[in-house]
A and B are shown apart, each in its own frame.
Chain A
Amino acid sequence: MTEHAWDTVTGLIDGQADDWDRAGLLPVDLLRKLGADGRLCAQVPAEYGGRGLSSLENGEFTARVGSLCSSVRSVMTSQGMAAWTIERLGTAEQRAAWLPRLTGGELAAAGFSEPGAGSDLSAIATSIRRDGDSVVIDGRKVWVTAAHYADLLVVFGRYEDGAAAVVVPSDAPGVRVERVADPLGCRAAGHAGITLDSVRLPADAVLGGVGLSLPLLVTTALAYGRISVAWGCVGILRGCRTAAAQHASTREQFGKPLAEHQLVARHLAELLVAEQLATRVSEHASRCWDSGSPEQVMATVLAKHVSADQATRGAETALQVLASAGARDGHLVARAYRDAKLMKIIEGSHEMCQLMLAEHAVNGSI
């Protein structure tokens, strides 16, 4: 992405994230504009109207947006995950049908979690049932990021003897989308619950058209979400580091800038370390992704785990440095403090990532 393109995006977001956070809403025309420019899912290949960015390029872009507004970045994560799922699981016809819509201004979300299936996605109960040339979908999804804005919902459910992802227009009869009231973080990201009540769609809405292994399906789709969250957390840390350094170098107490007090200086050092750790581990995962290395699978889990953990700590540190100057809703570090905590929960919780990493420590080689 050129600096000019980046300036365009910055101009659309910068200075407004505080208001969006307090209102709990993003301007839909902004999202559609970013979407129509192919920026919400920038890795989609050019043949589908996308920007065809590498994972590393898209990661850097994601971090830049994330440094300004985690709600917009969360919408990017959702749109990108929906596009990646369609690209990976869809047939050639389905890719040609859906992807240009996701690079053309339509908005999408991906629904995994259910009331009884959070970390344990093997408990997914949503059913996709074949009925002649149609499929009928019944179930409930919770905490679907960006669903409030979405035109298309990629819904995971049970199908045949396995599972499938199905592309559901949010205005299809039987679909109800209800916003999560007052989420802790990424408050404007449009988290919503989805109820699917006998939703009837043409059978070709089922990506790939067959039942697949649920764990493989979910693992595939979440891989994109994880690397996107990792880069989003890099952005959170950049924003926090900049805000803390700026405050500590200008605010004076006891006759000198905060940064010259050693205990505060240590916070600044820790923020730098956190930002660098998150950046380097995310870069590594993206490079594995771009080179087609199988190591990308675990490197992505590692990046999400490290980056979200560092962002949680870093945001807390930044808030400690800014203290009352950052302790109001909407302020960058106050948002970071709340947003980062959600990043430690979604797309595989801190603990689920640890279980995967532990298993890999025993059985694999990284």
Chain B
Amino acid sequence: MDATHRTAAPDADAVAKEVLRFLETKTKRSWEPEQDLFASGGLSSLFAMELVVHLEKSFGVAIRGADLRLDNFRTVQAMTALVLRLTDAATGSGGE
């Protein structure tokens, strides 16, 4: 399931907007960029995995190993930072 459609590095606003769109479609409610998604009454680990797969598919990144820390998926801001870091790594240094 490696990235297949890597495009130009997205900007933070575009990433945040897409993640919010996905969240709102899936959960049928609105979320703030800094809101904790997994706080009590929040979302499940199955949903966290859906987020992982969605980010990989939408932004052409591979989220592996230590990047699977739940903190990276806790808020829209955190997911945006993760995507930007992984796309930078992929387009910049030639790493995966």
Task: Give every chain A residue within 8 A of B96 (Cβ-Cβ).
Answer: 92
B27 at the interface (CB under 8 A from A): yes
Binding site for B on A (CB under 8 A): 45, 87-92, 94, 162, 207-210, 212-213, 215-220, 223, 289, 292-298, 301, 356, 359-360, 363-365
Cβ-defined contact, B50 with A209, below 8 A: no
Asked whether A216 and B1 contact (CB < 8 A) given A89-B64, A89-B68, the answer is no
Which of B22, B49, B68 contacts A223, CB < 8 Å? B49
B30 at the interface (CB under 8 A from A): no
Task: Give every chain A residue within 8 A of B43 (Cβ-Cβ).
Answer: 363
Which of A207, A210, A213, A294 contacts B50, CB < 8 Å? A294
Cβ-defined contact, B65 with A90, below 8 A: yes
A-B pairs under 8 A by CB, number = 91
Cβ-defined contact, B68 with A216, below 8 A: yes
Cβ-defined contact, A359 with B66, below 8 A: no
| Interface SS majority for chain B | helix
Binding site for A on B (CB under 8 A): 1-2, 4, 22, 25-28, 43-54, 56-57, 64-66, 68-70, 96
Q: From A288, which residue of chain B is reached at the shortest CB distance?
A: B53
Least CB distance from A80 to B in Å reads 14
Which of A88, A210, A293, A297 contacts B69, CB < 8 Å? A210
A239 to B6, CA, bound (A): 43
Cβ-defined contact, A212 with B68, below 8 A: yes
Task: Give every chain A residue within 8 A of B26 (Cβ-Cβ).
Answer: 294, 364-365
Q: 7 additional contacts, CB 8 Å, given A293-B57, A364-B47?
A: A208-B68, A212-B69, A216-B48, A289-B1, A294-B51, A294-B57, A298-B50
A91 to B66, CA, bound (A): 8
Closest 4 CB pairs of A and B: A215-B45, A213-B70, A208-B65, A292-B57
Asked whether A213 and B45 contact (CB < 8 A) given A292-B53, A297-B53, the answer is yes
Least CB distance from A130 to B in Å reads 15
Cβ-defined contact, A219 with B49, below 8 A: yes
